[in-house]
Structure 1
Amino acid sequence: MSSSPAASPELHHTLKRVFGFDDFRGGQQAVVERVVGGRSTAAIFATGAGKSLCYQLPALHLPHLTLVVSPLLALMQDQLAFLERHGVAAATIDSTLTRDEVREVMQRARSGELKILMVSVERLRNERFRRFLEQVAISLLVIDEAHCISEWGHNFRPDYLRLPDYQREFGIPQALLLTATATPAVIRDMQERFAIASDDVVTTGFYRRNLELLVEPVAGDERPDALARWLAPRQPPGAEEPTIIYVTLQQTAETLARRLTQQGLRVRAYHAGLDGETRDALQQQFMSGEVPCIVATIAFGMGIDKRDIRNVVHFDLPKSIENYSQEIGRAGRDGAPSRCLVLAGRDALGVLENFVYGDTPEPEGIRQVLEAIRQAGQSETRQWPVVLNTLSRESNIRPLPLKTLLVQLEMRGLITPQLAYLAEYRLQYLIDPGELIARFEGERARFVALLVEEIPVARRWGTVDFERLYRAGQQAGIDASRARVISALEYFQQQGWLLLEGKRLTDVFEVQAPDFDIEARTAALSEHFQAKERAEIERLNAMVALLESEYCLTRRLTEYFGDDYFARADTADRCGHCSVCHGRVARLPAPAPRPALTPADFDHLARPFIERHREQFATAPGVMRITRFLCGLSMPIFTPLKARQLTGFARLEQYPYGDVYRWVARQSAEHD
């Protein structure tokens, strides 16, 4: 870990006066001083080690705005509440804000009043937001959960790959990357993309002395009762220990919470299927202690800084070692002893593997995207406009892997992003249109009159037709280009003269190499996605190998993240507070045997889907598509097919995907 001399008096004064802390925690001072000194920096801190302060304090010493990119709304809202409590001028722009609230935030940023602005990475693709950023001086780009920029990390977000370009585009002099779960390979990826020197990578290490890591092998059908027995002494009425129980599926969260409640425990379920108001209420009740135990999918816990969580339980296997580290990191942030239990069995591996296989595009879909690019490349402008959801439906590639495909096409030199814009705008006048025209003179008045005349209002709203405006402007000798129209309408909204709404985000790419071999490119890109698939499956296997480790779990976990704590320590090579050190090496029980699949099963489960597919598309589905139908993996094409209404949908979701694929391939070959 990098170290620093005593903090400057100014920084220490801000730390005490604004944030109420007497001193920095491990690693914070080194990061803060580098950032204030103008150096791009990466902070690799264990969960709960105080990453947020590393940008919050420097923001008060930098001359201009600090722009924070965060992947989750919950993270932003939690950090915003903290900053507001400490009197720091901060804000978010997110989907929960009204138009007036967004306009107010932007005005505060333009005036220099705002010190910190938090947004999602997707917001940076918004045409209007990008125009706004061009008007604002920015001192620092902060990237929270920065491991998302690595395609080989555990939570890759394709839009994160564009962040280095955004930094250059908006002239932001430095970046700060924050993460809790970066392996050495991912750290190298982060350094390379943001030109961060090795001396400016600050790590706190992953060893947590107060966490007891426990692995208990339990067969699937015995797991609920085993959990109840383990929880009971830790949940005495009136003195329950704050506990999070992680599960993979929403349905499991509901059924397990009901079962534990029936055994007298105060437990509630939390998952993305609940409405926002219910989720917010549950989070507050957990924070206050009113609900001591939550059974949740992995979305719960992000952005929650509850320091006295005594137990984190994985009822189902974690998705990866990185996820496991992040989730157990929510326990014991106050430094008091806390337990992290995995009730482990191999029965849930199939479900986790299915998530992986579901993100691999069909070769036919990749080919269809490439054909669209080649066709666009034959036009005079070589421009290829993309509405993600539309292309997803047309290619039958889910939105996230489709974003990954587009990034790969950029990196391979086939396309270059040009701009992103909202394809549709509509407006509502707040003042009389005649009064709006009267506020201007000369050519500007004529331009505004053109807008009023060529944007007809039906009832209250008028839809902007940019092509119509441009043609009318040409005839009248007025510049009515798209850029000028949008600038004018945004100015009118800032003045409170009208409301402006936009939708259908469209990315425009320029085709760089229209003459390419579609079949060769399809094969290469398919192999790339299959390699990612293999890497994700290997990540699952690494998780199982960790849980079945014959030597210290804590040491193995820290070494995975490149932390040489045990190599440096003078003590023994074991932590003394994990199940292996307690003398219990885990051997995860295999899932119960499943009935063999027969030709009759194929006729009953798959045949109706095949026939419906033939009726609607005049072709039979391929092996991959049939397998995904039987395993319950969503595909855009299943919506028009109404596939979920068929008997066979998801009927084999408990079978390993590979076994189902091979069975479908055999049955399909025999029926051809």
Structure 2
Amino acid sequence: MTVPEKIACQEAFMASDKMIMVATIAFGMGIDKANIRNVVHYDVPRSLESYSQEIGRAGRDGEESHCMLYLCAEDLHLRESFARGDLPSKQSVTALLDQVFAKTPEITDRGLSIEGNMYAEAKEFDIKQTVLKNIYAQLELRFDLLRETTPKYNSYSYKSLVTTGRDTTLAAKAIRAIAKKASSLTHIDVDRAARTNGLSRNEIVAKLNAWHDKAYIDLRTSGVVNIYRVLRDLPSTGEEKARIIDELYAELELREQQDLNRGQEVMDLINGSKCFSRTLAQHFGDGLPGGDTECGHCSWCETHKPVKVITPQPWPFDENVFQSVLRAVPDRDDARYLARVAFGIGSPRVTAAKLSSNAVFGSMEQYDFRVLLEKFEGVCNGANGH
């Protein structure tokens, strides 16, 4: 939906007493409507924290309200895909860090620094940008190697609104000398403008920003370049690199398992033999009012029968579908990439290859992801002579 459509729906919902809103969890953020009578979960919440917040939208006026959760075994695929989708292959992380550690730091106004581009790195190494941010954060917080500073742009252009000819400062002259006009926009190589005139890059950028603030120009920027200050010598020996990569990847694997565990906690709540309200309260280190052991109105308290655990029957492995994935994706360098395609998990590499619209994408979503990973590892290892 477009932003205006979303705003119109939200405003209508807030004003109405008789409206059903069907939305993702993003809609719930910041919604404070006192008389929501029902909250329905059509699939599995990601965690008890999420579940608690989402059902907390109901009955803020103190009147009776109802929360219902629909659950089927097939929905667990969706929960698993969210958790599995963030973990890149170890070889992707290794290739990324090999590139980072091989960079030669340069002296800048921010100290000894190296540059990077998260957008390009995500595509090149098939690592989601959220995971890339986590990797760089670990390089700072855990290994004391790099610290992210304010990023810069590598492309500056502007549309002239009034003349800047009266500005005779050195920075203004440097900009005009290097400016190249194409159609309605004027393009500036800020690094060249600074270097040619003995100025700092910051002086050129500050002048462009000043012109924009004074409405002399309409400034456009693009191409974010991330800047990292080097805190100590980057690892150079194979042994030191391997140690950092092993420790960092172990942390990423732990995060994946924690995501899966949080989903399991929701399942344990629904399938447990205990009051839902008390279980939620205890999860947050609290209890029921007055020391009660039951709330009296959840599914357990009403029936004292646990919700039956439904486990999907394992599907017999379909070799024909497996082979169709291999035919559609000729790459044999990353088993996790192949498993993601078969399971239906998006990634930068999947997007670049335009596989999300291919019939094989998600064609094996009914299988355990670990089974698929093992099968594709066998193919990739065989292709690489292992």
Q: What is the rounded CA distance, in whole Å, between the counterparts of 2:67 and 2:17 in structure 1?
A: 22
Residue aligned with 2:153, SS: strand
Q: Specify whether residues 418 and 644 from structure 1 end up closer, same or farther in structure 2 by C-alpha distance, changes over 3 A only.
A: closer
Aligned amino acid, residue 658 of structure 1: R
2:140 is aligned, of 397, 407, 410, to 410
Residue in 1 that maps onto 2:118: 388
Aligned amino acid, residue 469 of structure 1: A
Is residue 371 from structure 1 mapped to residue 98 from structure 2 by the alignment? Answer: yes
Is residue 287 from structure 1 mapped to residue 18 from structure 2 by the alignment? Answer: no
2:72 is aligned, of 322, 340, 345, to 345
Query: 8 Å contact 1:606–1:648 — kept in the other structure?
Result: no
Please give the residue correspondences for 1:218-367 in structure 2 after superposition, counting only pairs within 5 Å.
Answer: 274-289=1-16, 292-367=19-94
Q: What is the rounded CA distance, in whole Å, between the counterparts of 1:329 and 1:497 in structure 2?
A: 50
Residue in 2 that maps onto 1:575: 295
Q: CA RMSD in A?
A: 2.3
Q: Specify whether residues 509 and 301 from structure 1 end up closer, same or farther in structure 2 by C-alpha distance, changes over 3 A only.
A: same
TM-score (normalised: structure 2): 0.89
Query: 8 Å contact 1:415–1:513 — kept in the other structure?
Result: no
CA-to-aligned-CA distance 1:251-308 (integer Å, 9 cap, x gap): xxxxxxxxxxxxxxxxxxxxxxx22222222222222228611222211221222111
Residue aligned with 2:66, SS: strand
Q: What is the rounded CA distance, in whole Å, between the counterparts of 2:177 and 2:324 in structure 1?
A: 62
Q: What is the rounded CA distance, in whole Å, between the counterparts of 2:81 and 2:18 in structure 1?
A: 32
Aligned amino acid, residue 432 of structure 1: T
2:176 is aligned, of 452, 461, 478, to 452
Q: What is the rounded CA distance, in whole Å, between the counterparts of 2:137 and 2:42 in structure 1?
A: 35
Measured after TM superposition, the shift of residue 402 of structure 1 is 1.0
Residue in 1 that maps onto 2:364: 652
Aligned amino acid, residue 353 of structure 1: E
1:556 is aligned, of 279, 285, 293, to 279
Aligned amino acid, residue 423 of structure 1: N
Q: What is the rounded CA distance, in whole Å, between the counterparts of 1:634 and 1:324 in structure 2?
A: 25
Measured after TM superposition, the shift of residue 339 of structure 1 is 0.9
2:161 is aligned, of 430, 440, 453, to 430
Q: What is the rounded CA distance, in whole Å, between the counterparts of 2:380 and 2:219 in structure 1?
A: 54
Q: Specify whether residues 484 and 352 from structure 1 end up closer, same or farther in structure 2 by C-alpha distance, changes over 3 A only.
A: same
Query: 8 Å contact 2:73–2:312 — kept in the other structure?
Result: no
Query: 8 Å contact 1:602–1:667 — kept in the other structure?
Result: no
Please give the residue correspondences for 1:446-525 in structure 2 after superposition, counting only pairs within 5 Å.
Answer: 446-474=170-198, 480-511=199-230, 512-516=232-236, 517-525=240-248
1:631 is aligned, of 343, 354, 357, to 343
Aligned amino acid, residue 343 of structure 1: Y
Q: Specify whether residues 280 and 499 from structure 1 end up closer, same or farther in structure 2 by C-alpha distance, changes over 3 A only.
A: same
Stretch deviating more after TM superposition (396-405 or 276-285): 276-285
Aligned amino acid, residue 492 of structure 1: W
CA-to-aligned-CA distance 1:1-46 (integer Å, 9 cap, x gap): xxxxxxxxxxxxxxxxxxxxxxxxxxxxxxxxxxxxxxxxxxxxxx
Residue aligned with 1:606, SS: helix
Q: What is the rounded CA distance, in whole Å, between the counterparts of 2:87 and 2:228 in structure 1?
A: 23
Query: 8 Å contact 1:366–1:522 — kept in the other structure?
Result: yes
Residue aligned with 2:27, SS: coil
CA-to-aligned-CA distance 1:220-277 (integer Å, 9 cap, x gap): xxxxxxxxxxxxxxxxxxxxxxxxxxxxxxxxxxxxxxxxxxxxxxxxxxxxxx2222
Q: What is the rounded CA distance, in whole Å, between the counterparts of 2:343 and 2:245 in structure 1?
A: 25
Please give the residue correspondences for 1:126-205 in structure 2 after superposition, counting only pairs within 5 Å.
Answer: none
Q: Specify whether residues 427 and 546 from structure 1 end up closer, same or farther in structure 2 by C-alpha distance, changes over 3 A only.
A: same
Query: 8 Å contact 1:345–1:588 — kept in the other structure?
Result: no
Measured after TM superposition, the shift of residue 325 of structure 1 is 0.6
Q: What is the rounded CA distance, in whole Å, between the counterparts of 1:285 and 1:584 in structure 2?
A: 40
Residue in 2 that maps onto 1:397: 127
Query: 8 Å contact 2:154–2:222 — kept in the other structure?
Result: yes
Residue aligned with 2:28, SS: coil
Q: Specify whether residues 347 and 644 from structure 1 end up closer, same or farther in structure 2 by C-alpha distance, changes over 3 A only.
A: closer
Residue aligned with 2:115, SS: strand
Residue in 2 that maps onto 1:533: 256
Q: What is the rounded CA distance, in whole Å, between the counterparts of 2:273 and 2:104 in structure 1?
A: 57
Q: What is the rounded CA distance, in whole Å, between the counterparts of 1:667 and 1:458 in structure 2?
A: 51
Aligned amino acid, residue 427 of structure 1: Y
Structure 1: tracts of 5 or more residues without a match: 1-273, 475-479, 614-619
Residue in 2 that maps onto 1:219: none
Ranked by relative contact order (alpha carbons within 8 Å, sequence separation 6 or more), the top structure is 2
CA-to-aligned-CA distance 1:572-598 (integer Å, 9 cap, x gap): 322112121112433344254353113
Measured after TM superposition, the shift of residue 456 of structure 1 is 2.7
Q: Specify whether residues 461 and 599 from structure 1 end up closer, same or farther in structure 2 by C-alpha distance, changes over 3 A only.
A: same
Measured after TM superposition, the shift of residue 608 of structure 1 is 2.7
Q: Specify whether residues 293 and 448 from structure 1 end up closer, same or farther in structure 2 by C-alpha distance, changes over 3 A only.
A: same
Q: What is the rounded CA distance, in whole Å, between the counterparts of 1:359 and 1:570 in structure 2?
A: 43
Residue in 1 that maps onto 2:355: 643
Measured after TM superposition, the shift of residue 607 of structure 1 is 3.1
Query: 8 Å contact 1:362–1:624 — kept in the other structure?
Result: yes
Q: Specify whether residues 322 and 594 from structure 1 end up closer, same or farther in structure 2 by C-alpha distance, changes over 3 A only.
A: same
Query: 8 Å contact 2:179–2:188 — kept in the other structure?
Result: yes
Aligned amino acid, residue 578 of structure 1: C
Query: 8 Å contact 1:359–1:398 — kept in the other structure?
Result: yes
CA-to-aligned-CA distance 1:582-625 (integer Å, 9 cap, x gap): 1243334425435311333322233331x2x2xxxxxx133212
Query: 8 Å contact 2:355–2:361 — kept in the other structure?
Result: yes
Measured after TM superposition, the shift of residue 648 of structure 1 is 1.6
Q: What is the rounded CA distance, in whole Å, between the counterparts of 1:325 and 1:331 in structure 2?
A: 11
Residue in 2 that maps onto 1:153: none
Measured after TM superposition, the shift of residue 525 of structure 1 is 1.4
Residue in 2 that maps onto 1:420: 151
Measured after TM superposition, the shift of residue 378 of structure 1 is 6.2
Aligned residues: 376
Q: Specify whether residues 388 and 487 from structure 1 end up closer, same or farther in structure 2 by C-alpha distance, changes over 3 A only.
A: same
Residue aligned with 2:70, SS: strand
Measured after TM superposition, the shift of residue 485 of structure 1 is 1.6
Query: 8 Å contact 1:599–1:667 — kept in the other structure?
Result: no
Residue aligned with 1:408, SS: helix
CA-to-aligned-CA distance 1:345-399 (integer Å, 9 cap, x gap): 3321121111101101211221122112221146677532122111111111011
Query: 8 Å contact 1:423–1:503 — kept in the other structure?
Result: yes
Measured after TM superposition, the shift of residue 320 of structure 1 is 0.8
